[in-house]
Amino acid sequence: MKRALAVAAVLSFFLGPLAWQALTSIWPEAELTRPLPRSLTLSSYAGLGGTFARAVLSSLVVAAGTTAVSLAVGASAAFAIAKLDFPGRRLLLGGALAISMFPPIATVGPLYLVLRAVGLRDSLAGLVLPYTTFALPLTLWLLTSFFQELPDELYRAARVDGCTPWQAFLHVFLPLSWPALATSAILVFIFSWNELLYALTFLSTPTKRTVPVAIALFAGEHVEPWGQIAAASVVATLPLAILTLLFQRRIVSGLTAGAVKE
Amino acid sequence: MNARRQAAALAAPAVAVLGGIAVAPVLAAVWLSLHRSILIFHEQRWVGLANFRFLLGDARFGSAVSTTAYFTAVAVSAELALGLLVAVLLQRGGGLFRAAVLLPWAVPTAVSARMWAWLFNPDYGLLHRIAPGIDWLGSPRMALHAAILVDVWKTTPFVALLLLAGLQAIPEEVLKAARVDGARPARVFFSVTLPLLRPAILLALLFRSLDAFRVFDAIYVLTEGGPANATETLSIYAYKTLMRSGDFGYGSTLSVATFACVLALGLVWLRVLGRRR
């Protein structure tokens, strides 16, 4: 009984605000002053229009691009750290962990100047690069611990069969690593989809804004359009909610990978 | 090509990317902090440590440090306490319960801050409907706590999952032995479970406090540092100096100071974690 009460309290704290936001999104704007709506409407969603659809598209492009870059760069490095011998491999893994703890405000100024100098400021491609500061360490960490769990004999056998280290990675280890690649991809996608500071700083054209920037800067002409903000929030959250529900096992194991190993 | 060289070649792209987009910018920020650099005037000249001398006498910086420290301490303590409760509940919960708890973690911080701003709305917000009379975002005292509440809502799931992983690693026999010896459930929890959970707790503290110390999104969306700079954290102050005033010299000084604080905090936690072994 005490447990049921505690579960109910926890669930209402975590889900209550989301439910209220979902209700607000279908609550007629003119009736927001009432205790509860008398009718429901989808007009807040219709009012979002093309600008917000473009924001969703921008976010998709940036998140997918970041995921692709960090997996492409991270997988081979993680394999090298886990199975091969080269100077500084421990330093690389430790350094990546330290970098993931860097406050983004420490890098945002110089990155702004560099992106401006090379003409990549205010472009989605220019956003992918800074995003790898948090995406690549995560990918390296997850994939390295996955490769470390695969037996060393696998690598030796591939070498005996005449594979170079590169071929062993490409033909033996990479095909086995899809579960870890999927976990990394999901986490990197979510983190990129949610990022605000870099996107806010580097993008200046309103039509290029990503979803978090669009929602942070959402403003009406006279009053705050709460119904539309709520509708935009639902649209921004829905893909993540679906990912979370479908892949919660993967997400949880990825997030706690470091903790369990300790 | 020998195997060692090929191994280094496999790792090289990652090293180049991390060096280019993380290490080099931090060094560049240190370099910029030694200059007077105003973007729109195309002005950049060496001033040595003048920015850092100014920093020491800057009352706004001092207040940003204490705001950030207070935010971090209160938010992380609350997340740890609530996270522990949720982790214990999750131990016997199904997958759906776990997914429901995980949901706030997946919501973008900017979105969750906007959502809470609506809950805090002084006229029609849900919190006003339940308990009227609290000016959540308008009063300097309350606003920082409102931001802490948003952070607690958003990140407690992560803490709970870390602690849950720690709880699941505790062997069942140890708990059984304590119960056989006649210990009551509360005694088992505080004398057996909690000490064994220490590594997971320290790890959660490490991750969360470093993350909370760099807080930007929630406060930017909720209050932009107001009212009366009451919620201005280090990241917000540095951001405003860099991007609003275009002062890349002093803005970089603030960024470097933030970086130094996070580094010091991280080293302290690593020492605490290391002592355990």
Q: How many CB atoms lie within 10 A of CB A196?
A: 24
Residues of chain A with C-beta less than 8 angstroms from the C-beta of B266: 98, 101
Q: What is the pTM of this model?
A: 0.94
Q: Residue A80: which of A187, A175, A184, A164 has the closest Cα?
A: A164
CB-nearest to B111 from A85, A140, A236 is: A236
Please tell me the number of Cα atoms within 13 Å of A123 on its side-chain side: 10
Q: For residue A259, what pLDDT is reported?
A: 54
Residue A30 per-residue DSSP state: G
B119 to A102: CB separation less than 8 angstroms, yes or no? no
Q: For residue B273, what pLDDT is reported?
A: 82
Provide the chain B residues 64-123 that lie in CB contact (below 8 A) with chain A: 85-86, 89, 92-93, 95, 97-116, 118-119, 121, 123
Distance, CA of A97 to CA of A262 (rounded, Å): 14
Instruction: For residue A250, give both structure tokens.
Output: 């993967």
Over the stretch B19-39, which tens digit does the pLDDT of each residue have?
Answer: 999 999 999 999 999 999 998
Percent of chain B at pLDDT exceeding 90: 79
Distance, CA of A56 to CA of B72 (rounded, Å): 32
Residues of chain A with C-beta less than 8 angstroms from the C-beta of B159: none
Residue A104 per-residue DSSP state: T
B10 to A15: CB separation less than 8 angstroms, yes or no? no
Q: For residue A34, what pLDDT is reported?
A: 86
Residues of chain A with C-beta less than 8 angstroms from the C-beta of B22: 99, 102, 107, 133
Over the stretch B189-218, which tens digit does the pLDDT of each residue have?
Answer: 999 999 999 989 999 999 999 999 999 999
User: For B89-99, what is the mean pLDDT?
Assistant: 89
Over the stretch B146-163, which tens digit does the pLDDT of each residue have?
Answer: 999 999 999 999 999 999
Distance, CA of A147 to CA of A89 (rounded, Å): 14
On whether ipTM exceeds 0.85, the answer is yes
Q: Are B159 and B89 in contact (CB under 8 A)?
A: no
> What's the mean per-residue pLDDT of chain B?
93
Note whether A211 contacts B: Cβ–Cβ < 8 A. Answer: yes
DSSP-assigned beta bridge partners for residue B44: B37
Name the pLDDT band for B69 (thresholds 50, 70, 90): very high
B200 to A165: CB separation less than 8 angstroms, yes or no? no
Q: For residue A220, what pLDDT is reported?
A: 66
Instruction: For residue A23, give both structure tokens.
Output: 């209700």
Instruction: For residue B14, give both structure tokens.
Output: 């990652």
Per residue of chain A (262 residues), give pLDDT as tens. 789 999 999 999 999 999 999 999 999 988 888 888 999 999 999 988 888 999 999 999 999 999 999 999 999 999 999 999 888 888 999 999 899 989 999 999 999 999 999 999 999 999 999 999 999 999 999 999 999 999 999 999 999 999 999 999 999 999 999 999 999 999 999 999 999 999 999 999 999 999 999 999 987 666 788 999 999 999 999 999 999 999 998 999 898 875 554 4
One CATH from 3.30.1220.10, 3.90.226.10, 1.10.3720.10, 3.30.70.270 for A50-261: 1.10.3720.10
Q: For residue A32, what pLDDT is reported?
A: 86
Percent of chain B at pLDDT exceeding 70: 99
Fold of B50-275: MetI-like fold (1.10.3720)
Asked if residue B121 has pLDDT above 80, the reply is: yes
Asked if residue B3 has pLDDT above 90, the reply is: no
Instruction: Report the residue of B18, B27, B34, B254 to disrupt the A interface, i.e. the one with the largest count of A CBs within 10 Å.
Output: B18
Distance, CA of A51 to CA of A209 (rounded, Å): 9
Distance of residue B182 Cα from the nearest chain A Cα, in angstroms = 22
Note whether B129 contacts A: Cβ–Cβ < 8 A. Answer: yes
Instruction: For residue A33, give both structure tokens.
Output: 């002053």
Provide the chain A residues 39-68 that lie in CB contact (below 8 A) with chain B: none
Distance of residue A80 Cα from the nearest chain B Cα, in angstroms = 5
Q: For residue A262, what pLDDT is reported?
A: 42
Q: What is the 3-state secondary structure (H, E, C) of B151-183?
A: HHHHHHHHHHHHHHHHHHCCCHHHHHHHHHCCC
Q: Cα(first)–Cα(last) distance of chain A, in Å?
A: 35
Distance, CA of A129 to CA of A112 (rounded, Å): 12
A248 to B110: CB separation less than 8 angstroms, yes or no? no
Q: Residue B254: which of B61, B1, B98 has the closest Cα?
A: B61
The gap from C-alpha A124 to its chain's centroid, in whole angstroms, comes to 15
Tell me how far CA of residue A84 lies from CA of A73, A79, A90, B7, B68, in angstroms: 16, 7, 12, 6, 42
Q: For residue B131, what pLDDT is reported?
A: 86
Contacts of A112 by beta carbon, 8 Å cutoff, 6+ apart: A121, A201, A202, B242, B243
Tell me how far CA of residue A118 lies from CA of A125, B18, B222, in angstroms: 12, 19, 34
Q: Which helix (H) or strand (E) holds A53?
A: helix A49-83
Q: Are A246 and A175 in contact (CB under 8 A)?
A: no
